Amino acid sequence: MSDLTTVELLWLEKRIENRIRFGKPASEKILDHHRRILSFVPGSIFAFVRWTSNDFGTTLSRIDILRAITPGQRYSTVPWVSPGGESLLRLAGWRKVERVLQLIEAVESLGIDPTDAASEYWHHVHNRLSVNETPRPYTRARHQAWLRRCRILF
């Protein structure tokens, strides 16, 4: 049994798209033209975006920002993710998903990899967007405080 968290990505044109928006996979296995499996080491953070449609339009838009678990750690189950992950953010509906994608881009525009951003920030974004409020922006000062705290705690 592996300590890795695996995510199955699937792409069927105009029907299903499961993709990783950010994250640093440890390995990738190509199953066929439409499917791949990415593996993440314990503690790594990644964003998993799912989108599904039918003949009448979009039926599902969801984003999960997860931390890959260590064996024995509690986790949330997420379709396509095995065994699951620690949920930092979980939102559904295109407006909320689109807003999270914009916030990820804002973090990247600061020159910060979203995997290195404070995990508490993703909790904050989840909490604010789930009640239709505006999240505070991630700043370089907040990131520097997070890095200092990591040096002390870890």
pTM: 0.93
Taking only the tens place, the pLDDT of each residue in 62-120 is: 999 999 999 899 999 999 999 999 999 999 999 999 999 999 999 999 999 999 999 99
Give 33's pLDDT tier (boundaries 50, 70, 90): very high
> What confidence score (pLDDT) does residue 153 get?
75
Give yes or no for a contact between 50 and 17, defined as CB atoms under 8 angstroms apart.
yes
**Residue 154 pLDDT class (50, 70, 90 cuts):** low
pLDDT of residue 1: 56
Kindly compute the dihedral angle of the four CA atoms of residues 154, 23, 62, 51, in this order, to the nearest 10 degrees.
-170
What does the pLDDT look like over 38-61, one tens digit per residue? 999 999 999 999 999 888 877 899
DSSP the chain: --S-EEEEEEEETTTEEEEEEE---SEEEE-SSSEEEEEE-TT-EEEEEEEEEETTEEEEEEEEEEEEPPTT---EEETTEEEEEEEEEEEESHHHHHHHHHHHHHHHHTT--GGGS-HHHHHHHHHHHHTT-PPPPP-HHHHHHHHHHHHHH-
pLDDT at 115: 97
